[in-house]
Structure 1
C-alpha cells in the first residue's frame, strides 16, 4: 500500500511548475494541521480552484464548507481526514484567524487549520477583526466594540446630561433675567433712577471683575465649590428681593433702590462663579453639552418673559397687581434656583458620560475636577503621576491660549458689545409710543429672547453652522449695521419693523455665540480647554460690560 501511494505521485513530475507548487501546497495542509504551526509561519495562500489534468491523482482536499468533493480514482486510498472538533460557528464569525490559546468566542487552532475554503478570499475588515482576536482573544474583540461606541461610558447618560446642562444654563441667568423682565415694575417704583440701565451697570463690574480673578487662578480653583456657591447666591438674592419688597411694602424710595442695586451686585458675583465655572467645565466634554448649556442661557430669557406675561395678565385688574405679580415671579425664581443647586450637586456628577470626561481631564493633568470625581465616588490619581513625570501634564499658559485664539476672543467680545448696547435699555426706553402701549417693551424683549434660543439651536444643522474663523469674524462685524438700523427705525419706522429687527438681533446673537464657544476649544487637552473656556467667558463679560456703558450713548440729546 505504501508503494502504491508513491506510484500515484509519479504523474506529478510531468506537471508545470505552477501545478507542482499548487499540489505540494495542498498536500502540506494535513502536515500543517498535524503540527499546528502558528499563523506567522504560514506563507502564501491557496491558489484558485483549477481543473486537474487528465490522469493525475486527486490532490488531498482538506474538509471545508464546500459541498462539492472531487472523485477519487479507483485503487487510490482514501485521504487522511483529521477529526474535527464539533462546532456550530460558521466561517462568517468575527474571528477567522485562530488565537494562540482557545477562548470562548474564538475557534480552536486544532480544527481551524483544516477548515479552509479553496479559493475563498477574506476581506480587509474580516482580516482586521480576526487579527485583533488573534492577538487579544475574545477580550480584545469586546474592547474594540466598546471603543466603537457599543456600551462605552462616553455615551451613557448623554441625553440626561444634555437635559441637565440645559436646566443649569437656564438657572445661570434665570434670576438676573427675572430682575430685567420686571422692569415695568421697577420703572413704576423708581421712575427717576433709570433702573434698567443702573441695575445692569451695577451687575456687570462684579461679574466681570470676579470672573477675571477666577480665570487667573482657574487651575487651582475647586470647580464644584465654585458652581455650588454661585447657585446658592442666586437663590439667596432672589429670596432677598422678596423680603425687601415685603419690608418696604412696595413704597419705593432711595433706600429701597439702593437695596435692589446691592442684590444686583450679588447676582453679578453669582454669575461670575457659575457661568465661567460651567463653561470651563463643559469645554472638555462633548460639544452637545456646551450647545445645550448656551441654549439654556437663552431659554431663561424666554421662560422669564413668558412667566412675566402670565403674571402681569393675571394681576392686571387687581389692586397692587403689578407688585403681586412681581412677588409671585420671584417666588418661582427661588424654586428654580433650588432645583439647579440640587441637580448640580447630586445628579450631574454621577452621570457616566460626565465621569468619563472628568476622569479623562484628570488623566491629562486637570486639578479642578478632583472634587467632582470624589462626589461621584472616584478619585483622581494623577497627583502621584505628576510628581513622577511632570512633563506629561505640561499645558499651554493662559496667555498662550489667548494669543492662539485672539480672533475667537474678539468675536465673542464684539457680539455682546453690540447686543448689550441695544438690549435691554434701548428697547425699554427709547422705542417711542405705539399701539401696544405698556406691552410694547415686553413684546420686544420676549421676541429677542425667543429668537435668541432658536439661533442657539441652529448650529445643530451642519449646513448652517459657521466653522470658518474668517466667516465668523465677517458675520460678527456685519452685525454693527444694526446700530443705524435701530436708530432710524425708532425715529421713523412702525412697530412691526422694530419687532423684526429685534428678532434678527436675537437670532444672530444666539447663533454666533454657540459657533464661537463650541469651535474654539477643539484640539486642546482637558486643562487647556477649561482655561480657554474661562478666557472666552471673560471676553464675553467684557463685551457685556462695554455694551452696557455704550447703551448710555442713546440718551445723548435727551437732557443728559
Structure 2
C-alpha cells in the first residue's frame, strides 16, 4: 500500500504539471459545443429513470395493487450496483466510448418496450400483471444501462476542465426537469380519463426515445470537437510515457489508494443519495395526498423537486465549497429531512398541509443538486490524470450504493 501511495503522489504531481503546462493551450469551445454535449450526456444518463418514475400515474392506474415506484427503485438500483462493480474492476479492459454507446442503446430499448407493450398487449386494461413483469424487466435494462453509461460519463468529464463536469451534473438535474415538463404537457393535451392517460403515456415515452437518440448522435459527434481532441491527445501522450504498462490499470493497492483519496467525497455521495431516495420519489408519490391538487399533486411535487435540483447543480458553477469537510457536513445535515418529513405524515395539522410538503420537497431537491455537484466536481481532481476516468466510475458506484440503501429505507415509510 505504501508503494502505491508514493507512486500515486508522483502521478498526481505529474498530472498537475501537465495541467499547468497545457492550461493556456486548451482550445476554445466554439459555440460551447463541448459544454452542450456534456450537458446532453448528463441528460441522457438520468432521462430513462426519470421517465419511468414520473409516469407513476399511468403505471399506478394499470397496476393498482403494486408499490410501483418502490419496486422500480429496488430493481433498477440493485442491477446498476452489481453492474458498476464489474465496470470498476474491468473498465481498464474496455473503452468508455463503447460502454456509453451500448448503454444508451439499452436505455432506448427499455423505453421502447413500454409503448410497444401497451399497444400490443395491455391496450388500456387494468390488472394484467404479466405486463408489469415486463415493465420491471425494462427497469432492469435501465439499471444495466446506468452501470455502463453514468460512471463512464462522469469519468470522461473528470478528465476535462471542471466546467464540463458541471455541465454533466447540470444535465443530470435538467433530465428531471425536462421529464417533468414532458409529463405535464403530454398529460394536459389529452382528456383526463383512462383513454387519455394511456395516450399521454405513449406520447411521453415516444418523446423520451427521440431525446435518447439525439443524445447518442451528439455524443458520437463529440470526438471531433477541439476540447475533446486536445485532452485525448494528452491521454495518448501519457500512454506513450507509460510504455508497456497498461494506462489506467489498477491493482488492489492502487484501487484502495484511489478510494482513500476520494473517500470523503464518496461517503458524502452515499449520504446524499440515502436521504434523497428514501424520501423521493416513493414518499412524494405514494404517501402524501392533496384534496386541492388531487392526482396532479405527485406530478407537481416531482416537477418542483427536479427544478430545484437543477438550480442546485447550476449554483455549483457560481460557487463551489472547496473545503471537503464543510461539504461533508452539509451532507450529514440533510439527515434533518427525516424528522421533518415524518412530521408531514404524523405531525400536527399545519405540517400535514400542502405548503410544508412542497417547501421541504423543494429544499430536498436544492440540497441534493448542489452537494452532488460539489462532490463530483472536486473528487476527480484529487487523483492522477490517468485515474480520473476510473475515479468517476468509483464515485458513481458509491452513489448507487447510497441509492440502493435509500431504496430499501424507503419501505420503512410503509411500515
**1:410 and 2:267 correspond:** yes
Q: Contact 2:106–2:145 at 8 Å: present in 1 too?
A: yes
Counterpart in 2 of 1:503?
362
**1:176 and 2:35 correspond:** no
Find 2:62's aligned residue among 185, 189, 198: 189
Separation of aligned partners in 2, 1:179 and 1:319: 18
Q: Contact 1:432–1:490 at 8 Å: present in 2 too?
A: no
Counterpart in 2 of 1:453?
310
Separation of aligned partners in 1, 2:23 and 2:392: 28
Separation of aligned partners in 1, 2:382 and 2:270: 22
Corresponding residue SS for 1:320: helix
Corresponding residue SS for 2:243: helix
Structure 1 residue 360, shift from structure 2 partner: 1.2
Counterpart in 2 of 1:397?
254
Separation of aligned partners in 2, 1:148 and 1:476: 32
Separation of aligned partners in 2, 1:470 and 1:161: 31
**1:286-340 Cα distance to aligned partner (Å, 9 max, x none):** 1111111111111111011011111111113466000000000011011111111
Counterpart in 1 of 2:226?
352
Separation of aligned partners in 1, 2:301 and 2:152: 31
Instruction: Go from structure 1 to structure 2 and tell me whether the alpha carbon gap of 1:280 and 1:173 turns closer, same or farther (over 3 Å shift).
Output: same
Separation of aligned partners in 1, 2:290 and 2:28: 53
Separation of aligned partners in 1, 2:22 and 2:135: 53
Separation of aligned partners in 1, 2:107 and 2:37: 18
The correspondence of residues 126-275 of structure 1 with structure 2, limited to 5 A, is 149=24, 152-157=25-30, 159-248=32-121, 249-251=123-125, 252-275=127-150
The correspondence of residues 7-406 of structure 1 with structure 2, limited to 5 A, is 149=24, 152-157=25-30, 159-248=32-121, 249-251=123-125, 252-317=127-192, 320-345=195-220, 347-365=221-239, 382=240, 386-387=243-244, 390=245, 397-406=254-263
Q: Contact 2:26–2:230 at 8 Å: present in 1 too?
A: yes
**Corresponding pairs, count:** 387
Counterpart in 2 of 1:536?
395
Separation of aligned partners in 1, 2:408 and 2:145: 21
**1:475 and 2:330 correspond:** yes
Separation of aligned partners in 2, 1:393 and 1:453: 32
**1:487 and 2:342 correspond:** yes
Instruction: Go from structure 1 to structure 2 and tell me whether the alpha carbon gap of 1:158 and 1:415 turns closer, same or farther (over 3 Å shift).
Output: farther
Structure 1 residue 406, shift from structure 2 partner: 1.4
Instruction: Go from structure 1 to structure 2 and tell me whether the alpha carbon gap of 1:436 and 1:208 turns closer, same or farther (over 3 Å shift).
Output: same
Instruction: Go from structure 1 to structure 2 and tell me whether the alpha carbon gap of 1:232 and 1:550 turns closer, same or farther (over 3 Å shift).
Output: same
Find 2:287's aligned residue among 418, 422, 430: 430
Moved more, 255-264 or 170-179: 170-179
TM-score of the pair, normalised by structure 1: 0.67
Corresponding residue SS for 1:513: helix
Corresponding residue SS for 1:520: helix
Separation of aligned partners in 1, 2:247 and 2:343: 58
Counterpart in 2 of 1:114?
none
Q: Contact 2:39–2:170 at 8 Å: present in 1 too?
A: yes
1 or 2, which has the higher helix percentage?
A: 2
Structure 1 residue 153, shift from structure 2 partner: 4.1
Q: Runs of at least 4 residues of structure 1 off by over 4 A?
A: 390-396
Q: What do you get for the CA RMSD once the two structures are aligned?
A: 1.9
Select the structure with the greater relative contact order (CA < 8 A; seq sep ≥ 6).
2
Residue segments in structure 1 that go unaligned for 5+ positions in a row: 1-145, 366-381
Q: Contact 1:238–1:333 at 8 Å: present in 2 too?
A: yes
Structure 1 residue 530, shift from structure 2 partner: 1.2
Separation of aligned partners in 2, 1:246 and 1:148: 54
Separation of aligned partners in 1, 2:407 and 2:62: 22
Moved more, 408-417 or 519-528: 519-528
Counterpart in 2 of 1:545?
404
Q: Contact 2:262–2:382 at 8 Å: present in 1 too?
A: no
Corresponding residue SS for 2:381: coil
Q: Contact 2:290–2:354 at 8 Å: present in 1 too?
A: no
TM-score of the pair, normalised by structure 2: 0.89
Corresponding residue SS for 2:294: coil
Separation of aligned partners in 2, 1:254 and 1:222: 39
Moved more, 471-480 or 158-167: 158-167
Separation of aligned partners in 2, 1:298 and 1:392: 32
